[in-house]
Amino acid sequence: MSDKYDVIVIGAGPGGYVAAIRAAQLGMKVACVEKYTGKDGKQALGGTCLNVGCIPSKALLDSSWKFHEAQEGFDIHGIETKGLSIDVKKMIERKDKIVKQFTGGVTALFKANGVTSIEGHGKLLAGKKVEVTDADGKTTVYQAENVILASGSRPIEIPPAPLTDDIIVDSTGALEFTSVPKKLGVIGAGIIGMELGSVWRRLGAEVVVFEALDKFMVAADDQIAKEALKTFTKQGLQIRLGARVTGTEIKRKQVTVSFTDAEGEQQLTFDKLIVAVGRRAYTENLLAADTGVDMDERGVIFVDDYCTTSVPGVYAVGDVVRGTMLAHKASEEGVMVAERIAGHKTAMNYDLVPAVVYTHPEIAWVGKNEQQLKAEGVEVNVGVFPFAANGRAVAANETGGMVKVIADAKTDRVLGVHVIGPSAAELVQQGAIGMEFGTSAEDLGMMVFSHPTGSEALHEAALAVNGHAIHVANRKKR
């Protein structure tokens, strides 16, 4: 038996590393176990988010948008560009540099807060013991008063499209292309699929997205989803709804995809194929058989509202538990658990976890959408304001999209904020802050918003809820 800790965290992703740091800040002796290694072969903290998810994908989204804007959007400003080209290798190197900066940052934060980093695969044993197996197969057992399981998730693989080294790839592989594919297929029109498809479309790839469902972006508000579909189609993304992939065949370094849709059985051939159909909890070999921690058949660990498992002193956060697989949700769960271990009565509001799609324009929402509320029988008032009527958006040539505010028709309390357009994530976060404190549409309408800003679109949408918008015709007047 090795050292004993107040808290041992298994997994150094957004849920795990944040939990470890917060627990250490609260005076506990903390260790965090992580086995992931970066391109240099060294331990890389930060989990999927920092290594192969949120951060690197946003780096590529930013680089690709700058190229696209220089190619397509500068002329309107009177700026002429000629002979533009993209150095994909340099773009990937920039992405890798950013990843290393942030993973190294977590390492520095561990040192600053006194968190012990243990390299290897962590496995929970009975009695809150944690077995760590290093790269050489050597095992060490640590004792803990409390254990936090934060092992994250992995991309889902599907039988019709088995992954290869370089032609059929998952979201991780899609971050490592060394050149722009002439033709790119994407299976899955969710957040990951649309973001990755957008990156390579902007750089010149012909992109076809296969979505098995007949509806686009089912989690989004219907009005926002319809606007998004129209926008992405205009950008050149070919989105095939109701298209179920049935098989793939690789020949001459290309992949032929067989699929069925409303027109029957069809085939298309691509240079690369990205499988982006979602993620699954990564709990393989995480728990010994006698730990007493309950999970379902999908490997999702059962927890209560405070992320407590069926075993006292054992907690689970992030992608291995119920709810959305989002880094910010995992981080706040990590903070909550660390503080509850320290004796605080911290809770988390799961109704106000924002969701963001980092395409261009951005898509974001918080709270419930209109179809959910109608299905629940809630009478609502809705205010919509287009960015085409927003001075800052027009000046920036970012006129597509809208802000939508949904409020209870009886109480005027804001129940949802949905945005497609410039800085959607930031505007939705403003809405989330207000909703956390029970804001009404009238409250938002009475606040002073600086001019000219994109946030004025939120202000006007809130005014429009009750027919009081100034810079757009109102649907109803009082």
Q: How far apart are CA 365 and CA 387, in angstroms?
A: 16
In angstroms, what CA-CA distances link 93 with 101, 175, 195, 254? 12, 11, 19, 26
Select which of 121, 451, 459, 471 is catalytic: 451
- Under the phi-then-psi rule, with left for phi > 0, alpha for psi from -120 to 50, and beta for the rest, what region is 459? alpha
Helix axes 327-341 and 14-25, enclosed angle (nearest 10):
30
Q: How far apart are CA 371 and CA 93, in angstroms?
A: 43
Query: Using alpha carbons only, how large is the chain's radius of gyration in Å?
Result: 24
Assigned token pair, 177: 């292309």
SS3 per residue for 88-144: HHHHHHHHHHHHHHHHHHHHHHHHHHCCEEEECEEEEECCCEEEEECCCCCEEEEEE
Q: How far apart are CA 298 and CA 459, in angstroms?
A: 43
The torsion angles phi and psi of 193, rounded to 5 degrees, stand at: -60, -40
Neighbours of 11 (CB within 10 A): 33
Q: Which residues contact 444 (CB under 8 A, 6 or more apart)?
A: 405, 414, 431, 434, 458, 459, 462, 463
Question: Does 451 qualify as catalytic in the annotation?
Answer: yes
Whether the CB-CB separation of 311 and 291 falls below 8 Å is answered with: yes
Q: 367: closest CA among 458, 427, 431?
A: 431
Exposed/middle/buried for residue 469 (C-beta within 10 Å: 0-12, 13-18, 19+): buried
3-state secondary structure of 459: helix
Q: Give catalytic residue positions.
A: 451
